[in-house]
Amino acid sequence: MDCNKFNPFRALLALKSPQIMHIKTIAGFRAYFKRNYLICHYSKTVLISSDMSQTIAQKVDTWLAGNYDENTKQAIRDLQANQPSELEESFYKNLEFGTGGLRGVMGVGTNRINKYTIGMATQGFSNYLAKAYPGEKVSVAVGHDSRNNSRFFAETTAAVFAANGFTVYLFEALRPTPELSFAIRHLGCKAGVVCTASHNPKEYNGYKAYWNDGGQLVPPHDKNVITEVEAIQSVDDVKWVGGEANIQLLGNNMDEAYIKMVKSLSVYPEVIAEQNDLKIVYTPIHGTGITLVPKVLAEFGFTNVHVVEEQSIPDGNFPTVKYPNPEESETMSIGLAKAKALDADILLGTDPDADRVGVGVKNHKGEWVLMNGNQTAVLAFAYMMEARRAKGIAKPNDMVITTIVTTEMINEVAKQNNVACYNVLTGFKWIAELIKEKEANEHYIIGGEESFGLMIGDQIRDKDAVSAVALMCEMAAYEKSKGRTLFEKMIELYVQYGFYYEHLISITKKGMNGQQEIAQMMEGYRQAPPAEINKSKVITLLDYELQKGTNLITGETWKINLPKSNVLQFITEDGSKISARPSGTEPKIKFYFSVNTTLENALEFDEKYEILQNKINGIIADMQLN
């Protein structure tokens, strides 16, 4: 079917939905249906079925007639009258409760984050907890970040848990996500929830679900909770009120316990005492980090900390940035300007729920640069292994954990330091699960991944930017005591362990067809993997969804002993690694590129860096991703 020849009246006959009632003209009908019901993609035309249209209409009618508050109903009527396409986006599907919980745009509807989707998710989670712990006293911890409505969503979550008879420990105000993970373990809770959308734009919010170890849900609990959540078909199935007496507030006592734990992670407190005036610039990017990071740095002994005032007040509108993500150079620009003006030693930024950290330092030319997530991870891993060995506190059963899309350099650092290194799927829940599996026999010291996340020590089970900030500052102090910067230390590591360079591209596919387009891209790579990339033969294909590795030269295959995950990796003859992975929390597909070479000495750095950059640019161009 040709898009320009589409007959809107034929579609109209099949459509019974109140969202088209405001359209008054033939031209209006034609434009509306061409815009909203006909999607042309790669020469294929897909007509949204009348069944889907009727489903949307039925959901809208249910919300308008059901036990929903009047403000919600009026918002739906406004969408009907003024934004019919937005109405469709809001109701065309149910917001999926994935293995990590919920994340989406805030608003009315089944495909949005709101009181009702949060409440139904919590009721489903409650039902599973009751089945998992029959006859036991169940307690849960609930926290939230600085996003708009996060406090309301956290209170809603706490109220539903409490109405189900659970003891609920609700943080009295916003706190970093890692403190929620710590609180679950510290209080012996069976589960926990934090209301946050991490580093997503201001329109988003979310709901992260945790189990009794302080880690996010993993099998079998993730699938079982999803089943229970999907079984909640109506807001009338939710226990909204009746357990208010079961809610207890968490405040300073939990903060003090958490700060004490973080301080125990320090390897060289005596070096901090000598370098206590290390000039630190810190930005919480309008998030929760402001509640604990300055306190932790003071507790470590740092006395020269400068908070970026423009970004110090928690604000869910994130007024100074487009994306509250420390991975973005624009987001860190205000802090970077302050660091330059003060001639600081290090710049650090944390995202809204303070689980990711961005780091800025002076490079070997004295210019301020932002480290990428792989560099930050390598510095942290190397420090924890090398410093513990030098201090005499390393253990023969020490282990570290990284992920399959993080730099291979970490594996090399661990190998040369005789420390066991394990690679898991992307996500700190898998790091937490492996710790639980091995903690009886091995001693975990650090884990992390390329997405600006670190988890230091085993007393929390999720990424923690608060302890990461403290560790990075300790590392900067240690290197300053040796007369060099963290960047110069990074170059030294390249010389010692090999020069690995990585890059990430994210491609966003929004709307009703976005997930389908991403699935088509993955299936295309899976069915017809490239024979060569950037003039280098692809010799290995790793398909984590099929749990299968293939030598594309010999045809040999082997089983990948990790849980299924929709990730593909291509390894080329020259040692390059390209990974394709749809995001589990956003409508994106991510491509990870890793290349490497040797670095004989620091003087070669600029030359070799340019070679590796050109190689990645060549890969991106060859795969037509630019």
Measured N-to-C along each axis, helices 252-263 and 177-187 cross at an angle, to the nearest 10 degrees, of 100
Percent of the chain that is helix, strand, coil (3-state, to 5): 40, 20, 35
- The strand pairing partners of 595, in sequence order, are 501
- Of 265, 491, 541, nearest to 378 by C-alpha is 491
SS3 at position 569: strand
CA angle 464, 465, 471 (to 5 degrees): 100
How far lies 147's CA from each of 168, 199, 467, in Å? 21, 10, 22
- Residue 465 near residue 357, CB atoms below 8 Å: yes
How far lies 308's CA from each of 78, 349, 555, in Å? 40, 9, 56
CA distance 35 to 554: 49
- Residue 594 near residue 501, CB atoms below 8 Å: yes
CA distance 294 to 167: 31
CB contact set of 184 (below 8 Å; sequence gap of 6+): 141, 191, 192, 210, 212, 213, 214
**198 catalytically annotated:** yes
CA distance 617 to 252: 50
Helical H segments across 344-427, by residue range:
373-391, 409-416
- From the candidates 17, 198, 451, 594, which is the catalytic residue? 198
3-state secondary structure 287-323: CHHHHCHHHHHHHHCCCCEEECHHHCCCCCCCCCCCC
Residues with catalytic function: 198
